[in-house]
Structures are given as C-alpha cells and as structure tokens.
A = this chain, B = another copy of it.
Amino acid sequence: MADTARTRLQQAAVTLFRDKGFDSTTAAEIAALAGVTERTFFRHFADKREVLFDGQAVLLEALRSAIENVPQDVPPLQTLFRVFRSVVPILDANRPFSQPRQAVISATPALQERELAKMAALAEALAQALRGRGVTDDRATYAAQVGMAVFAHVTLAWLEEATPSLGDRLDRAERDLADLM
C-alpha cells in the first residue's frame, strides 16, 4: 500500500469518478491528478475501468485458500457459505474503501458490466476449486454461480447499509435459498 504511482492513480480515479462521473473524466485527468502521464495510466491498467478492479484479485486468492480449509465431505453449497463467512473479516476491514468505490460502480453501467465479468471469473474459480474436490462438472458450475450470485447480492446490500452485519445477512440468505428449493 505504499505511495506508488499505481495507488495514487487508483485514489485519483475514485475521487474524480465520484465528483464528475466516470464518463466525463478522462484518463488524462486521472493521470494528471496522480502526477503522471496518461501513458503511465495505461501501463498500470489495461483500460479505464480496470483501475477500480484490483481488490478482486486479493479476494480471489482469499476465497481459493479458504476453500482448502473446509472438509471435503461438506456438500458444495454449504462449503461455499463457509468460505464466504471466512472472508467476512477482510470485507469488514475494507468497507471504508469499498463503499465509495461501489457507489461509483452502481452509478455507471459500463462499470457494472466489468463487475459482472469479475464476478463471473470468481465464480469460475470457485467452480474449479469444487471440481478439485470431486464435485461433478455441471453441479460445480451451478453451485459456484448460485453461491456467487448470493454473495454478490448480499455484499452489495451490505455496502449500501452497514446493518445488519455481513454474517447475519449471509445467514438470512442461506435460509432464503433453502426455502427456494
């Protein structure tokens, strides 16, 4: 988290996106506010949207490793809920940063699109992990997608409104899901 060009760019981006909106801030403006050139911006981030989606990589690794600590005999969906609960502390710690970021995303269709892509990647990673634990191909896909859908919806609601807590919301979601079947 040093004061590197990369992190300055990320902070500048959130600030400008929040103040002027995503569409009407140029990559050059972000770079200027961060004290670098536009070219440097694109060296750090593949495109203008990507500047907001770095945490996903961290989250992905957290989820990947968390899944290892769940006994193999726990059924797939239940496994995922345990994994989600295990990353709650991380999300809690990041809420101050995540909240304004999510506000920007929620206000910008182009960014929501990217977020969906990231969620899909996360879901695919979870599915892979489940397959590694002996879950059938399709079932792993379904479990991962269902899990991610719930996880995304719950965290989004929790970023808009801090209470109830993430844990409580997950409990409730798990019950809702059970009712559904």
Contact = CB atoms under 8 A, between A and B. Distances in A.
B146 A180 contact: yes
Copies in the complex: 2
A7 to B, nearest CB: 26
Contacts of A173: 138, 142
A120 B141 CA distance: 17
A113 B180 CA distance: 28
Interface residues of A, number: 29
Contact of A116 (B75, B117, B136, B153): B117
Interface in A108-158: 109, 112-114, 116-117, 120, 136, 138-139, 141-143, 145-146, 149-150, 153
Given A75-B180, A139-B176, A145-B150, 19 more contacts: A77-B180, A112-B117, A112-B120, A113-B114, A113-B116, A116-B117, A138-B153, A138-B173, A139-B179, A141-B153, A142-B146, A142-B153, A142-B177, A143-B180, A145-B145, A145-B153, A146-B180, A178-B181, A181-B181
